[in-house]
Amino acid sequence: MILYSYGDIRAMVHRSLDDASMVSVFPTETAVRFWTNDYVRTSEKGILRHDSTMAWDTFRSHFLPTGDAAPVNGFIRHLFALHLLGDPDTAASLQWFRHPTFPESVGNLASTVASLLPKLQEIERMRLVKGESYDRLPLAYRNDAARLQVAYGDFLAKRNLFEPRYLLPSVGNLPSGFERNYRIFFPEVCDGWEEFTLMSHVPAWIETCSADASKTESSLQVYENELMELRACMRRIGELLDTGQDFADIVVTVGNLERWRPYLEHEALLCDIPLAIVEGLSPLQYPPGRFFQSIQEVHAQSFSLDAMKSFLLDPRMPWKDAKVQRDLILRGLELSVVQGNPNPRKDDWQVKLARSLVKTDAQLLIWYKAFKVRISSVVAAKDAESLMQAVYVLQEFLLETGSWSETEGGDLHSSVYAYCLHQLSELGKAVRSCGFTTTQALVSLFVQFLGKQQYIPRDRPPGIPVFSYTVSAGLCPRYHFLLGCTQEDIGQHTDQLPLVPEPIWRDDAANDRTGLFLDHYRVMARQVHISMAQATFGNSSALAPSWFVDHDAIEMQRYVPADARTREQAAWAAAGATPFKANAMQSRWFDQACRTAFLPPRFDMADNKAVFSVWDRSCKGEGHLSLSATALDMFFACPMKWASSYLLHLGKGTFDTVSLDHAAVGILLHEILARFFQRVREESGVFRKELVDRYEVLLSASIDEVFTRFAHSPQAPVHTTVQYIAERYGTELKAILNAEGDMFDGFASWGFEISLEHLYAQSDCLLNGRIDRILVQDHADGTQTVAVVDYKKTYRGSRKAYDNYAQGLPSHQLPLYAKLIRDSDSTELGQVGTAAFYSIEKGKYIPIWEESQEERRDGMIAILEEHMLHMVDALRQGRLGATPSKQACANCDYRQICRRRYALV
Ligand code: SF4
């Protein structure tokens, strides 16, 4: 029987379901569920006998031969392929399915061969009845397929197994009492129908009902890009729901659901449209699956810092001892660990932690060793039982006890974990039925297999069902939205064989079932919306299906955004409000915001008004404020920044791998310069320009000593990085010889890394600073010139920036040092005559003031004193208002927690 319209189809299916003597067969279980629901929901009876419907697969299975042999499954196919390719003689005999130059590719090839095994019979059939298609296959491929068929047949026969896909239907296999009246709906989209019709005799008690779209007009709506297409669809569905349409009346089908899924879920959430994606995710997308995958990755990547980081810092896992793991990674970063090694003496983690002087590293080393042993035993397991055992041991070591229970029916993660363990035991059964005693890389096979499975959670919330293309064949809803219908994504080709170049099967018209499915979808709904976009989410361009091009049925669509934000912008632009109906989720958000974010905060420390006194906390109970140049700089850049750092003690914690630790390099450079000038002092008292050649030897010795020690320290980065640091900075440092000669010829180094502090009782401030170097020059008249120097690895400032010091100091550092030296009794030095930064990168001094510029120096010190008073006053009053600016916020560590950064445009 041929059905031409939505009404005819529904009427016929319902008539069939009404008929107690008839069994209705639908293409899939999904279609069975759809029609059963539809009938129960809309028919007068409201009830249906469970044996009046059947899925095509179940129906067909009654026509297949039965015996005492067991069917193979994906695990068995994969194990067979793995062992076959692992055998050097068999592998050498293959021409297409081997890569002799890449022996490590066996794992991937095994997966391809496993997917080919069920199709070997089809290739044979192709050879017999479709000679032309068969001849299109490369000769090496045909030869390998024949070899594989012989080996596979042999393997199955020896183990009393059978390949379900090789069985052919026959009436002779029917069990007694099966004969009833069967009506097969939509046989054109039933998998294996063609083969079924080739049976020598098709019983008369089977009748068919096909859907025919020849009288249906359809068009393809084409959008500029897939986001527009998706949003237009969501809007249309939203309108339908607003008019009271039932979820069950709407179905969404997507050409490539895997690609669309994240966008679909995101947009649906924003629009408050409840979608129920019928297809499950791979268990690897859930934490328990990821747990197994990470074990394999950590081992495959030799315990590299990156692999360890992504596993041990994964916040989704119920870690037993997350702190130890975090500490281990932090130490790994600090010690520049690259990767582990089976040999403890070559294992970066073990070597560096063992050599470290930090006390807590010993504990981390013990933990790491235990972790390594457990991971290695999971990976080394060659049979499923020992793999399962090793997994339990690792789980007990890493995870909170009882966090993922191993029984189905617990929370989602427990269920997924139970599912993974069930798959593992299935793997064990498969290994046993294959008769293999050991299998290499079992965990990797298991993870690969998990990646191909779909986990479907039991309690899926109700919503509009979303299917992949072809999965929804046989459904006939009121509204069907077919999205992403590009030629590529809805193409259906039989005889699509793995590892065969696409043009070979794509151009074979006999294998093309694209039109057949499209015709089916075109007629199977009251309203069918078929759409695609010219640009995909991946930003590649897509082509329209040829049917629409041939029938001149393409409609270009212009997308007009109509979400809340766009409407609000339009309302502002037009200076007039337009009515907007918020959906349920938007109303919820608004209500919540009215009670939280829209209210002024009780304590807004970022606001420039007194909130509460922070003075006591700033003084840490000492009665005075301890102030350094960095604290002052930070406060005057932005008080909020200072409060975050000094008051709240928030520090930037980074888990990023750095190939070059700039702070550590800075410390090394300071040490080299201190050593060098110490030697100069011992050698000649004052620096003499004419002795530069001799000084060069001293400097080289200091550079060598410090970098050699660094290269052997536990925190040393890889050898090449150490070499780079030594070469680059070794060269740059030499420039100080001439710069020193020009600037401080005749000066003696008075002290290095000198810590000074002085209490200013009047302002309740304890000023402190650590000065890189103080120099003095004694004059014949008994007077003395004092100079201070601060080394900078890279210095971006300039002397000019200090010319307008009255408007603000670029840095309080040198004026603060000058003030400390002047006021401190411990040095007994006078006023600082010269203050300069030394840029190691540029190899030159940048003096901020020099001899005879007392006015400039005193001016800067006066500004510093003003700032001290101002800061004390602000803290006493509790004023910490943020002062956002492009400059201050650009590299601020607290951007992520600061609301004021939004003030920047
Ligand atoms: S982001 Fe800007 S405003 Fe916020 S604390 Fe940092 S510097 Fe201040």
Atom of ligand 1 nearest to the CA of 903: 3
Q: pLDDT by residue (tens digit) across 448-493?
A: 889 888 888 877 778 999 999 999 999 999 999 999 999 999 988 7
Q: pLDDT by residue (tens digit) across 584-610?
A: 777 888 899 899 878 877 777 667 777
Q: Reply yes or no on whether the pLDDT at 771 is more than 60.
A: yes
Query: Are the C-beta atoms of residues 752 and 776 closer than 8 Å to each other?
Result: no
Which of 898, 902, 904 maximizes ligand 1 atoms within 8 Å of its Cβ, making it the mutation to test the pocket? 898
Ligand 1 within 6 A of CB of 884: yes
Sign of CA dihedral 758, 759, 760, 766: positive
What pLDDT score does 826 carry? Answer: 80
Distance CA 806, CA 801 (A): 11
Query: Are the C-beta atoms of residues 430 and 449 closer than 8 Å to each other?
Result: no
Q: Per residue, what are the HEC states of 539-587? A: CCECCCCHHHHHCCCEEECCCCCCCHHHHHHHHHHCCCCCCCCCCHHHH
Token reading at 655: 């888990």
Closest CA to 125 of 27, 62, 194, 200: 194
The whole-angstrom distance between residue 179's C-alpha and the CA centroid of its chain comes to 55
Cα separations in angstroms, 461 against 215, 235, 285, 587: 38, 21, 19, 21
Ligand 1 centroid, distance to 649 Cα (angstroms)? 15
Distance CA 814, CA 772 (A): 11
Distance CA 36, CA 30 (A): 10
Q: How confident is the model at residue 753 (pLDDT cuts 50, 70, 90)?
A: very high
Stretch 664-692: mean pLDDT, rounded? 92
Please enumerate in sequence order all residues whose Cβ is within 8 A of that of 603, keeping only pairs 6 or more positions apart, or say none.
611, 612
Among protein residues, the one whose CA lies closest to atom 5 of ligand 1 = 641
Q: What strand order describes the sheet that includes 479-483?
A: 275-277, 464-468, 250-254, 479-483, 527-535, 220-225, 554-556
Ligand 1 within 6 A of CB of 185: no
Query: Are the C-beta atoms of residues 743 and 847 closer than 8 Å to each other?
Result: yes
Ligand 1 within 6 A of CB of 606: no
Closest CA to 431 of 461, 398, 494, 388: 388
Domain spans, the chain: 2-65+168-211, 70-166, 220-276+463-556, 283-452, 564-595, 662-877
Ligand 1 within 6 A of CB of 888: yes
Distance CA 833, CA 395 (A): 67
Rounded to 5 degrees, φ, ψ at 22 are: -115, 140
Distance CA 696, CA 901 (A): 49
Q: Please name the residue ranges forming H helices in 19-99.
A: 29-42, 56-61, 74-86, 88-93
Ligand 1 centroid, distance to 641 Cα (angstroms)? 6
Rounded to 5 degrees, φ, ψ at 162 are: -140, 155
**Between 344 and 404, the higher pLDDT residue:** 344
* Helix or strand (DSSP H, E) at 711: helix 692-711
Atom of ligand 1 nearest to the CA of 638: 8
Token reading at 779: 């004059």
Distance CA 416, CA 395 (A): 15
Stretch 506-525: mean pLDDT, rounded? 82
What pLDDT score does 91 carry? Answer: 73
Ligand 1 within 6 A of CB of 529: no
Q: Are strands 464-468 and 161-162 parallel, antiparallel or unpaired?
A: unpaired
**Between 84 and 786, the higher pLDDT residue:** 786
Atom of ligand 1 nearest to the CA of 644: 5
Atom of ligand 1 nearest to the CA of 893: 6
One-letter amino acid for residue 73 of the chain: N
What pLDDT score does 429 carry? Answer: 86
The phi-psi region of residue 620 (left if phi > 0; otherwise alpha if psi is between -120 and 50; otherwise beta) is left
Ligand 1 centroid, distance to 30 Cα (angstroms)? 55
Ligand 1 within 6 A of CB of 882: yes
Token reading at 865: 């004193």
What pLDDT score does 510 carry? Answer: 63
Which of the residue ranges 2-11, 200-209, 616-625, 725-734 would you say has the lowest mean pLDDT? 616-625
Ligand 1 centroid, distance to 598 Cα (angstroms)? 21
One-letter amino acid for residue 101 of the chain: T
N-term to C-term CA, the chain: 68
Ligand 1 within 6 A of CB of 737: no
Atom of ligand 1 nearest to the CA of 894: 6
Distance CA 157, CA 166 (A): 13
CATH 3.60.10.10, domain 220-276+463-556, yes or no: no
Residue with tokens 């299109």: 136
Query: Are the C-beta atoms of residues 137 and 504 closer than 8 Å to each other?
Result: yes
Token reading at 535: 């640009």
78-92, 248-262, 508-522: which has the highest mean pLDDT? Answer: 248-262
Cα separations in angstroms, 188 against 57, 58, 606: 14, 17, 68
Q: How confident is the model at residue 54 (pLDDT cuts 50, 70, 90)?
A: very high
Atom of ligand 1 nearest to the CA of 640: 5
Ligand 1 centroid, distance to 796 Cα (angstroms)? 21
Please enumerate in sequence order all residues whose Cβ is within 8 A of that of 568, keeping only pairs 6 or more positions apart, or say none.
580
Q: Reply yes or no on whether the pLDDT at 356 is more than 50.
A: yes
Cα separations in angstroms, 92 against 100, 153, 395: 8, 20, 41
Ligand 1 within 6 A of CB of 299: no
Ligand 1 centroid, distance to 597 Cα (angstroms)? 20
DSSP, collapsed to helix, strand or coil, labels residue 843 as coil
Ligand 1 within 6 A of CB of 849: no
Q: Are strands 250-254 and 220-225 parallel, antiparallel or unpaired?
A: unpaired
Neighbours of 673 (CB within 10 A): 24
Among protein residues, the one whose CA lies closest to atom 3 of ligand 1 = 884
What pLDDT score does 905 carry? Answer: 38
Distance CA 740, CA 691 (A): 12
Which of 900, 904, 905 maximizes ligand 1 atoms within 8 Å of its Cβ, making it the mutation to test the pocket? 900
Query: Are the C-beta atoms of residues 771 and 756 closer than 8 Å to each other?
Result: yes
Ligand 1 centroid, distance to 897 Cα (angstroms)? 9
Q: Please name the residue ranges forming H helices in 164-316.
A: 193-197, 226-242, 257-271, 287-300, 305-312
What pLDDT score does 586 carry? Answer: 78
Among protein residues, the one whose CA lies closest to atom 2 of ligand 1 = 889
Query: Are the C-beta atoms of residues 706 and 722 closer than 8 Å to each other?
Result: no
Average pLDDT of the chain? 88
What's the Rg (C-alpha) of the chain?
38
What pLDDT score does 268 carry? Answer: 92
* Helix or strand (DSSP H, E) at 749: strand 748-760
**Among the CATH numbers 3.30.390, 2.30.30, 3.40.50, 3.90.320, which is that of 662-877?**
3.90.320
Report angle CA 59, 30, 453 to the nearest 5 degrees. Answer: 95
Q: How confident is the model at residue 790 (pLDDT cuts 50, 70, 90)?
A: very high
- In CATH terms, are 220-276+463-556 and 662-877 the same topology? no
Closest CA to 412 of 265, 283, 274: 283
- DSSP conformation letters of 253-280: EETTHHHHHHHHHHHHHHHT--EEE-SP
**Within a 13 Å sphere around the CA of 315, how many CA atoms are in the beta-carbon half?**
0
What pLDDT score does 60 carry? Answer: 92
Token reading at 172: 């002779």
Q: How confident is the model at residue 503 (pLDDT cuts 50, 70, 90)?
A: low
Angle between helices 74-86 and 442-452 (to 10 degrees): 140
DSSP state for residue 144 in the 8-state scheme? H
Distance CA 664, CA 716 (A): 10
Ligand 1 within 6 A of CB of 635: no
Atom of ligand 1 nearest to the CA of 637: 7
Ligand 1 centroid, distance to 889 Cα (angstroms)? 5
What pLDDT score does 406 carry? Answer: 62
Distance CA 31, CA 54 (A): 10
Token reading at 625: 């404020």
Ligand 1 within 6 A of CB of 880: no
Ligand 1 within 6 A of CB of 78: no
Ligand 1 centroid, distance to 642 Cα (angstroms)? 9
What pLDDT score does 228 carry? Answer: 95
Q: Are strands 220-225 and 206-211 parallel, antiparallel or unpaired?
A: unpaired
Stretch 840-844: mean pLDDT, rounded? 93
Atom of ligand 1 nearest to the CA of 888: 7
Neighbours of 412 (CB within 10 A): 14
**Between 173 and 367, the higher pLDDT residue:** 367
Q: What percent of the chain has pLDDT over 70?
A: 95
Ligand 1 centroid, distance to 860 Cα (angstroms)? 25
Atom of ligand 1 nearest to the CA of 899: 4
The phi-psi region of residue 621 (left if phi > 0; otherwise alpha if psi is between -120 and 50; otherwise beta) is left
Q: Reply yes or no on whether the pLDDT at 43 is more than 80.
A: yes
Stretch 861-883: mean pLDDT, rounded? 91
DSSP state for residue 878 in the 8-state scheme? T
Query: Are the C-beta atoms of residues 740 and 692 closer than 8 Å to each other?
Result: no
DSSP, collapsed to helix, strand or coil, labels residue 774 as strand
Ligand 1 centroid, distance to 894 Cα (angstroms)? 6
